[in-house]
Amino acid sequence: MNINAPRNPWFINAAHHGRMARNARPASIVPSPPPPLAALLALLALLVTALALLASSAITDRLLRADAQARVEGWGADLLRRSPELAAMLRGGSVSESGLVTLEAIRAGGDILQLRLLGADGRVLVSDGAPDLANAVVTTRVALRDATGRAGTLEVVLDQAPRRALFRDAVRLAEGSIAMFGGAAFALLVWLALRRQRESSAEAQAQFLRRHDATTGLATHAEFRERLDAALAMAREQGWQVGVQVIDLRRFREVNETHGHAAGDIVLSLIATRLRGAVRREDAVARLAGDRFAVVQSVLHEPAAAARLADRLADTIANPFALPDGLSITIAADIGLAIAPHDGEDAETLLDRAEKALATARAEPDATIRSFEPAIDAEARRQRELERDLRAAIADGALTLHYQPQYRLRDHALVGFEALLRWHHPERGMIPPGDFIPLAERSGLIIPLGAWVLRAACAEAARWPAPVRVAVNLSPAQFRHGGLVGTIADALATHGLPGHLLELEVTESLLQRDAAETERLLRAIRGLGVSIAMDDFGTGWSSLAHLWRFPFSKLKIDRAFIRDLGHDPRLSAIVATIVGLGRILGMTVVAEGVETDEQARLLAQEGCDQVQGWLYGRAMPAEEARALIAAQSDANQRKVA
């Protein structure tokens, strides 16, 4: 059984015929029907008569014709249902890849001698097999129609030999039976035989779906493990190596959110077809879950061959995908690679280490390929331990907030603080936020962690000796999780903090999700009186077509543009552009990471509104922030006096 050969090797196209000929179609994975119901036929044999013998041929042909017509009509309807774009493509004289995938599923599940798909003009677009008319009743044709009319024709020649043999056996057993009961007995036999045949076909189809993914036709996780176990056993006998590649698609969620789940299923099917076309017959491809795939290289003579395959898989996935709505999308993939016996000798270990290599690849800013290394295993253990400790720290209240001051540039007045999370580990000391915040994002701990930060910041700001705004960072995961607006409202109400004293900072990546839903949530937050700032502006995904729609009140220039300000004139131009953009949109502009007087002077020269950074103060504990606010308040009162 080869689960990886192309799903459409019988697509007759002059440009593809040579390549398809090199990829012979795998043996059917659907089990053969069970033998005739010999015991039941023997019990009824005495009831069949010579009259039944005379009429049997005509009755058999009629029943088989009707059954064939019903089956082909069902296949035609299923073809248009699962490939809605097929009708339009047939009128244009072509067939979609998803249509070919569906046709192959039909071909695998039926006793088909020949299957042809004709376009609206009658041209043959797809043809598989050669009919053996001795075994067929007749060619069955079904018109494929949609709301606009006829699009094409599905033509099938079914292999009727097994069913004819079934009926012929019944007739032979019926010789010598009583004439008065012959007709009824024979009709009953035919009905029982057809029902059993249909049950067998349904059982075979169910067995296929238990071991293969319904969307892509690829092996399931369980089937993949069996193939991997078999490949490892053979490799131990022959001295081969076995490669396992786990593939994860980047930003596939956006395909579903932007184009719909139907488009997502089409993309998954097309990816499955491409992966099958990129591997050898002896290799295996599976869909493990969601947008995660895996490949087994069964016969591997050198590790470099696994790396070459990984490059080939990444390249084939990176090619653009055409969607039914006419749009084209591009998807990148991360790949984790492990090789037996070097990285593990059993399936569980090999898969686990390929997954760890994949996790390392996913941590990179761009899609990449990573092979397993012992250091990855050690890092994975460290990450698991860190996640365990972070979970305990959240539960035990062992985290703290520090507050970095923000100043108005023109008069150096204290205008607010940004709340920054700090974690002092009892054994490892201070853990950098860059280590544990991404971990919280990956593990889902960002949800309880983010809620705690909101509550703690609101509680502290409510105790400050003067009304000063506190800024809190939000994660895109908090927006996806749901209940965010209620969490914010509850934090404000519980601690009696007015909404205008809370500012929430979000990054540009938030705008990549469903724009309408994001706008709705942000406006609901603004309805609480809370202001919203775009953090790290200019470093991520920015679109002026979206920016002006969202209710932002502040733009924060990322420290990457401030670090070399004064040394590179291009940075001055970028800062001036962002400040000008903020002024046009009516937003306050804040510069982060200001560390020198020269940077502050240039920012003031460009008209920047506010600043924060080490030049003005590092993040400080809550009690120091309170003291700073009190000192500022006293100074203001002395000025008034």
**Does residue 12 form part of some domain?**
no
CA atoms of 151 and 166, how far apart (whole Å): 37
Residues 189 and 283 in one domain: no
| Peptide bond between residue 341 and the one before it cis (omega within 30 degrees of 0) | yes
Question: What's the angle, vertex CA 120, arms to CA 116 and CA 121, rounded to 5?
Answer: 95
Residues 393 and 482 in one domain: yes
pLDDT of 585 over the 60 cut:
yes
pLDDT of 477 over the 80 cut:
yes
pLDDT of 566 over the 50 cut:
yes
Contact 379, 373 (CB under 8 A): no
Q: What is the mean pLDDT of residues 244-249?
A: 94
State the average pLDDT for the chain.
Answer: 81
Query: Running DSSP on this structure, what letter comes out for residue 553?
Result: -
Number of domains, the chain: 3
Which range, of 8-12, 102-106, 138-142, 409-413, averages the lowest pLDDT?
A: 8-12
**Does residue 572 form part of some domain?**
yes
Q: How many helices (H) and strands (E) does the chain have?
A: 22, 20
> Bigger pLDDT: 207 or 312?
312
Return the percentage of the chain with pLDDT > 70, whole number: 79
**Tokens in use for 290?**
């969601």
CA atoms of 179 and 9, how far apart (whole Å): 52
pLDDT of 188 over the 70 cut:
no
Q: What is the mean pLDDT of residues 545-569?
A: 86
Place 552 in a pLDDT band, splitting at 50, 70 and 90. very high
Q: Which of 610, 616, 620 lies closest to 597 in space, CA to CA?
A: 616
Quote the pLDDT of residue 604.
94
pLDDT of 48 over the 60 cut:
no
Q: What is the mean pLDDT of residues 251-256?
A: 83
Residues 627 and 532 in one domain: yes
Quote the pLDDT of residue 329.
87
CA atoms of 508 and 543, how far apart (whole Å): 9
Q: Which residues contact 377 (CB under 8 A, 6 or more apart)?
A: 353, 356
Q: What is the mean pLDDT of residues 533-557?
A: 79
Place 2 in a pLDDT band, splitting at 50, 70 and 90. very low
Residues 331 and 459 in one domain: no
CA atoms of 518 and 532, how far apart (whole Å): 13
Question: What's the angle, vertex CA 79, arms to CA 75 and CA 84, rounded to 5?
Answer: 155
Query: Running DSSP on this structure, what letter comes out for residue 32?
Result: P
**Does residue 8 form part of some domain?**
no
Query: In Å, what is the CA distance from 144 to each residue of 75, 77, 154?
Result: 10, 8, 7
Quote the pLDDT of residue 30.
39
Place 117 in a pLDDT band, splitting at 50, 70 and 90. confident
CA dihedral 233, 234, 237, 242 (to 10 degrees): -90
Question: What's the angle, vertex CA 20, arms to CA 14 and CA 21, rounded to 5?
Answer: 95
**Does residue 216 form part of some domain?**
no
CA atoms of 101 and 89, how far apart (whole Å): 15
Query: Which tens digits make up the pLDDT trace of 619-629?
Result: 999 999 999 99
Quote the pLDDT of residue 592.
95
Place 53 in a pLDDT band, splitting at 50, 70 and 90. low
CA atoms of 9 and 5, how far apart (whole Å): 8
- Which residues on neighbouring strands pair with residue 242, listed in sequence order? 340
Question: What's the angle, vertex CA 89, arms to CA 87 and CA 91, rounded to 5?
Answer: 75
Place 45 in a pLDDT band, splitting at 50, 70 and 90. low
pLDDT of 3 over the 50 cut:
no
Quote the pLDDT of residue 253.
83
**Does residue 3 form part of some domain?**
no
Last residue of a domain, one of 326, 343, 372: 372
Q: What is the mean pLDDT of residues 377-404?
A: 88
CA atoms of 404 and 402, how far apart (whole Å): 7
CATH code for the domain of 537? 3.20.20.450
Query: Which tens digits make up the pLDDT trace of 503-514?
Result: 999 987 777 667
CA atoms of 305 and 547, how far apart (whole Å): 47
Residue whose structure tokens are 């491409």: 274
CA atoms of 538 and 509, how far apart (whole Å): 11
Residues 169 and 29 in one domain: yes
Query: Which tens digits make up the pLDDT trace of 270-288?
Result: 999 999 999 998 899 999 8
**Does residue 5 form part of some domain?**
no
Residues 62 and 188 in one domain: yes
**Does residue 4 form part of some domain?**
no
Place 173 in a pLDDT band, splitting at 50, 70 and 90. low
Residues 233 and 172 in one domain: no
Q: Which residues contact 477 (CB under 8 A, 6 or more apart)?
A: 441, 444, 446, 447, 450
Q: What is the mean pLDDT of residues 549-564?
A: 91
Quote the pLDDT of residue 110.
66
Last residue of a domain, one of 313, 347, 372: 372
Residues 207 and 311 in one domain: no
Query: Running DSSP on this structure, what letter comes out for residue 513?
Result: S
Quote the pLDDT of residue 137.
56
Q: What is the mean pLDDT of residues 537-554?
A: 74
Among 97-106, 135-144, 339-348, 398-407, the range of highest mean pLDDT? 398-407
Last residue of a domain, one of 211, 245, 261: 211
Q: What is the mean pLDDT of residues 99-125?
A: 77
Q: What is the CA radius of gyration of the chain?
A: 34
Residues 307 and 451 in one domain: no
Q: What is the mean pLDDT of residues 252-277?
A: 87
Place 609 in a pLDDT band, splitting at 50, 70 and 90. very high
Quote the pLDDT of residue 309.
92
Place 595 in a pLDDT band, splitting at 50, 70 and 90. very high
Query: In Å, what is the CA distance from 163 to each residue of 68, 88, 183, 478, 634?
Result: 11, 37, 19, 60, 99
**Tokens in use for 294?**
């895996």
3-class state of residue 567 by DSSP: coil
What b/e readout covers 341-363, taking b as 16+ CB neighbours within 10 angstroms? bebbeebeebbbbbbbbbbbbee
Residues 443 and 417 in one domain: yes
pLDDT of 162 over the 70 cut:
yes
- Which residues on neighbouring strands pair with residue 142, listed in sequence order? 154
Query: Running DSSP on this structure, what letter comes out for residue 15?
Result: T
Quote the pLDDT of residue 177.
56
Q: Can you give the residue range of the structural domain that contains 257?
A: 221-372
Q: What is the mean pLDDT of residues 11-19?
A: 30
CATH code for the domain of 247? 3.30.70.270
Query: Whole-model pTM?
Result: 0.54
Which range, of 67-76, 317-326, 465-474, averages the lowest pLDDT?
A: 67-76
pLDDT of 50 over the 80 cut:
no
CA atoms of 96 and 267, how far apart (whole Å): 12
Residues 596 and 622 in one domain: yes
Residues 483 and 502 in one domain: yes
**Does residue 142 form part of some domain?**
yes
Q: What is the mean pLDDT of residues 479-497?
A: 94
